[in-house]
Structure 1
Amino acid sequence: MRRRIWAALFLLAALALAWRMVAISGNLPEVVTAARFEELRADSPQLRAFLRRMPKGADLHTHLSGAVYAERFITWAVRDGLCLRRADWAILPRPNGAAADQPCGADPAVVPIADAVSGPRGQTTYDLLLDALSMRWFLPTPAIPSGHDQFFGTFGKFNAATGGSDWQATLARMAEMIADQLRQYDADAVQYAEFMVTLLEGDERRQLSQAIGTETEPAAMLAALQSAGLAQSVTGRAQQVAELVKQIDALLDCGSERRKPGCGVTYRFIAQVNRNSAPADVFTQTAHAAALVRAAPHSVVGLNYVGPEDYRISLRDYRMHMKWIGFLTGSDVPVALHAGELWLGLVPPPDLDFHIREAVEVAGARRIGHGTAVGFERDMNGLLAEMRRRGVTVEIALTSSDVILGVRGTEHPITTYLNAGVPVVLATDDAGVSRIDLSNEYYRAAHEHGLGYRKLKSLAHNAITHAFLGEDEKRRELEKLDRSFADFERSVAHGETWVEWVQAVALGAVLTR
């Protein structure tokens, strides 16, 4: 009798396993690919190569100027005849009226960058400049004691190479920068990107801000901006964005048979607002960004607040900023916000426990950038449940959290978000400053947090599902991603033997990732 029972149990287990294997083999290339991924976990170079080829959907959190590697800024600075201030390794514009024999002025510490990176010590200067403009080989010093300070300090040093204060020069440089990034995304198997860019600068921004005067009530502030020509400014900027897109297409020959790599990568813009400005200036930027999204929804698809969240003005005005965003964007302007890019010790505890919740519940953010400090939020589990209910997506930038906040490994909350059912995507943040690409973030998710192939594949799908695209555009991008994954998985499965296929199916029957 006992033998019959054991035989029956064994038969049931065998049937269950066989049924599981048959079900899994319905998508055999995916099963084989997932099994191959597991085999590569212990072989870092092979894992990196696998992930570089793997489709990654989208990069939804990338600052355009921070995405560019320092080498490109130096190349452009040399070409444009810019100057280098050796004291702090800042790239500077040529002073107006400078003499031909002193193109960078009379100060001997400020020299043409072309001269600085040439000659016997040119390579040494070049290397030191790369280090100053990025996180490459960063080591703390009394002058720059943290990765946080080095990271955020780089932007002012290379600003002149992005076009500086001249808006037309900035547009031309933006076209070059975006074309470069689209080529990089093409090489990295990324099909869509949303670039954070500043779209209101200079005298136009100052004049609009001054129109607010002493008004402090949002409706009155908005009325003052409208009276001062907000609509006309937005119309003009929308036309300039359209011209920018044409410039990018021309750089990549996207309208010809000679189209270059990058033409197949879809992109949109996120209008960024400098949160560490005077109140009237922040309100003006926010109102302009919201109006621009409404005026040019097929190119500018949302807004975001940028700049260190831990700076004095951002902390002081945070709740006011969230109310302004909710007021100005309503339900029709997509909002993604840096929130919770903080950690214990960086700011006092009272500044840690409400930023993500206010971004979600007051500002109406559909996506949260970083969200690193979620563990310090009041009623974290209640917040996570609300984010899951609303479908609020978290843009996780693992390297950025590491180099800026020192948060890595099990300290990072990516697993907390995933376990709570909150949508998660992986992003680069500032790939050039951090010296990474999106494949590196997928590698870190696999290597440091144990995410398997199917989970990474779901994150790639999330990046398209939660993009700020219209439904028809999103459907086309999802179909494109599905085709890319099917091709990728077939290519992986094609290289396996029949024995490896059988092993993969068996492994897939018990694999739970």
Structure 2
Amino acid sequence: MKLFYTILFCILFHIGLAQSANQYFEKIRNNEAELTAFFAQMPKGGDLHHHYSGSIYTEPLLAHAIAQDLYLNTQTMTVSKEKQTGTDWVLFSALQKNGELEAYKQKVMQKWSVKDYNYVDYPSDKQFFESFTKFEPAIVGNFEAGLLELKNRAVKENVSYIETQLTTIPCAIKTDDLAKYNNQLRKMTVAKNEKAVMQSLDSLYTIFIQKEAKKYAADFNVNFVGKMHKELKIDDSQFTMRYQNFVLRFMEPVDLFKNLIVAFISADSSQLMAGVNIVSPEDGETSMKDYELHMLMFKYCHSRFPKVKYTLHAGELTLGLVRPEELTWHINAAVYTAGANRIGHGVDIAYEEKSYDLMRYMAKNNIPVEINLVSNEFILKVKENRHPILLYKEFNVPIVISTDDAGILRTNMTEQYVLLAKRYSSITYDDIKQFVYNSINYSFIQDPAAKKQLLQDLDVRFKIFEANFSAK
């Protein structure tokens, strides 16, 4: 009986702490500075929608480019390891010698990130997506420093897990002799001949296996990710990281499918590889043209690799960006056709055909939506009550809060929660706490023991955090 009352006391004590934290939260929810202090210290679980290259801040990228003495295009602020044609390409060392380096540092910051962006001179979505190609050579060969930067920032910010989309898997399999499949696959998709599409993908799969697709996946897992993860000691008692493979939407179908097969093989054969994704602007010409085909490719890969989890960028669209009818089916196709385990962004859900049924299905089948408030505001200009987060919540769709590309957007996880609290008064502290736990429960961590440990750690962190408010 004594043990029973001890346990009951502990339960009631912790409930009281949570209530005190909730009361304090409601008291400060209209004060941004107080909210920032609150959320900076609050445990934030995992960041599940996270692009490695877009999450490194510009300052260390630029420092690396200068240290490597890359070439800078003084008009576009693009860097290159080799001098390109034209007179605008100058070594950083030459800029330093001429006393121009500091001036160009500022210009680079404004092109590689949203720093000083005035929302007037250039489309925000183009500013965002074009930044990746400008600094890409500064990313290559600097993964170790970048991963440590992300880990150290996460630890300081009370983020205990990151599931990052690191890089594409190098694959030298030639596809010139398979080009005929590109038009065939597109025609069959337009004709709604799913059976024929799957038969063609099956033929391609056999070819890629014969051309040693498994070798490229194994080399990536062992000699790149595995080696680097171990040597850097990324996982410890404070922090855990896993990696998503991804493919690029703008590629021709055969090349995209080749990379998708390698990505699935990789994720199927290493516990460090959490899952698979697809990236690049969803409104791009090829992305739109081949969207349904891409969903069928994921469906096919699931049939081959049923244990592999995947999240899909879907519905990162809004009215005006594409024709209205294109807003009605992307999340539907990602959920129903591709069978996505999570949805990234999901901004156009209100426009989707039978959106209520779709959200009920997501809720029933535990398919979370990854909400990226700062990203959606900058790229799509969708914020406040135009954003569908409360719509998802109304239909009990699991929600996780993520940063997307914190480096380019010059944000962090804390700011996501500050905006969440300020903008949506119906979202309570208990809701936010649930979102945090969702970020671990719906992660793609393959090792059950690792996930259990993260959840137990989150319990301890919240008890410590909420104890701050017991006397307030």
Q: TM-score, normalised by structure 1?
A: 0.82
Q: Does 1:468 align with 2:444?
A: yes
> Which residue number corresponds to residue 383 of structure 1?
358
Deviation at 1:114, TM superposition (A): 4.2
Q: Give the 3 Å change call, closer, same or farther, for CA 472–151 of structure 1 in structure 2.
A: same
Per-residue CA shift, 1:355-388, capped at 9, x if unaligned?
0011011111011000000011000100000101
Match of 1:404 among 379, 385, 392: 379
Match of 2:232 among 248, 253, 267: 248
Correspondence list, 1:166-205, <5 A: 169=141, 173-201=142-170, 204-205=171-172
Higher Rg of the two aligned structures: 1
Correspondence list, 1:37-436, <5 A: 37-95=25-83, 108-116=87-95, 120-140=99-119, 144=122, 146-163=123-140, 169=141, 173-201=142-170, 204-205=171-172, 207-210=173-176, 212-215=178-181, 216=185, 217-240=200-223, 241-249=225-233, 264-296=238-270, 298-330=271-303, 331-436=306-411
Q: Distance in 2 between matches of 1:118 and 1:66?
A: 30
Per-residue CA shift, 1:11-39, capped at 9, x if unaligned?
xxxxxxxxxxxx97661111111111122
**SS across alignment from 1:237:** helix
Q: Distance in 2 between matches of 1:117 and 1:157?
A: 20
CA contact (8 A) 1:359 1:365 kept: yes
Which one-letter code corresponds to 1:272 in the other structure? F
Per-residue CA shift, 1:87-113, capped at 9, x if unaligned?
111111134xxxxxxxxx795422122
Ranges in structure 1 where 5+ consecutive residues have no aligned partner: 1-22, 96-104, 164-168, 255-261, 501-513
CA contact (8 A) 1:162 1:174 kept: yes
Q: Distance in 1 between matches of 2:14 and 2:453?
A: 25
Q: Give the 3 Å change call, closer, same or farther, for CA 473–360 of structure 1 in structure 2.
A: same
**SS across alignment from 1:84:** strand
Q: Which moved more, 1:131-140 or 1:336-345?
A: 131-140
CA contact (8 A) 1:211 1:228 kept: no
Q: Give the 3 Å change call, closer, same or farther, for CA 308–263 of structure 1 in structure 2.
A: farther
Ranges in structure 2 where 5+ consecutive residues have no aligned partner: 1-10, 186-199
The aligned length equals 441
**SS across alignment from 1:469:** coil
CA contact (8 A) 1:90 1:156 kept: yes
Q: Distance in 2 between matches of 1:26 and 1:178?
A: 36
Q: Distance in 2 between matches of 1:414 and 1:128?
A: 35
Per-residue CA shift, 1:437-490, capped at 9, x if unaligned?
001001110011123321111110000010001332221111111111011111
CA contact (8 A) 2:30 2:422 kept: no
Deviation at 1:118, TM superposition (A): 7.2
CA contact (8 A) 1:117 1:126 kept: no
**SS across alignment from 2:276:** strand
Deviation at 1:208, TM superposition (A): 4.4
Deviation at 1:122, TM superposition (A): 3.5
> Which residue number corresponds to residue 447 of structure 1?
422
Which one-letter code corresponds to 1:291 in the other structure? I
Match of 2:467 among 471, 477, 490: 490
Which one-letter code corresponds to 2:214 in the other structure? A
Deviation at 1:211, TM superposition (A): 6.0
Deviation at 1:417, TM superposition (A): 0.4
Q: Which moved more, 1:235-244 or 1:127-136?
A: 235-244
> Which residue number corresponds to residue 166 of structure 1?
none
Q: Distance in 1 between matches of 2:14 and 2:146?
A: 44
Deviation at 1:402, TM superposition (A): 0.5
Q: Give the 3 Å change call, closer, same or farther, for CA 72–419 of structure 1 in structure 2.
A: same
**SS across alignment from 2:117:** coil
Match of 1:458 among 422, 431, 434: 434
Deviation at 1:51, TM superposition (A): 0.4
Q: Give the 3 Å change call, closer, same or farther, for CA 350–43 of structure 1 in structure 2.
A: closer
Q: Give the 3 Å change call, closer, same or farther, for CA 44–119 of structure 1 in structure 2.
A: farther
Q: Give the 3 Å change call, closer, same or farther, for CA 293–50 of structure 1 in structure 2.
A: same
CA RMSD of aligned residues (A): 2.0
CA contact (8 A) 2:92 2:101 kept: no
Q: Distance in 2 between matches of 1:327 and 1:106?
A: 43
Q: Distance in 1 between matches of 2:319 and 2:79?
A: 34
Q: TM-score, normalised by structure 2?
A: 0.89
Q: Distance in 1 between matches of 2:289 and 2:231?
A: 40
Deviation at 1:191, TM superposition (A): 0.2
**SS across alignment from 1:335:** strand
Deviation at 1:414, TM superposition (A): 0.4
Which one-letter code corresponds to 1:284 in the other structure? K
CA contact (8 A) 1:84 1:116 kept: no
CA contact (8 A) 1:210 1:280 kept: no
